[in-house]
Structure 1
Amino acid sequence: MQFQIDNMACGGCARSVTKAIHSVDPQAKVDIDLALKRVSVVSSADESAVAAVLEDGGYPPRRAT
């Protein structure tokens, strides 16, 4: 799954996003491209659960195309 997170601007943001995703699935593989503000996630967790935890953490995601 891929998300666009427009307010992710720095390494601290990237760490917060990764930590939020790992709270839902500790085994998730998270790849972040800060320049594109894009997060790619390989996880057994449901996409809606990942999106919800990002939203709750202050990083509202949009599905990336």
Structure 2
Amino acid sequence: MHPYPAGHWMYSLYDLLDNSVFVVCFFAFWVATGQFLLRTAHEKFNISETVEIVIIFYYGY
């Protein structure tokens, strides 16, 4: 049972979140994006992985 009327955009979101294939692909996409951004930052700015982890932790919370 959805808390929103049929046709509401949140109705579609609930259906997507119930789909395990979507959830796996969604998280895989963001993990790959995060890895790409970390690799780019590491190469471009030449910062250590420890600093990257601290930045992620700081901005993640």
TM-score (normalised: structure 2)? 0.34
Higher strand share: 1
TM-score (normalised: structure 1)? 0.32
The structure whose RCO (Cα within 8 Å, separation 6+) is larger is 1
Higher helix share: 2
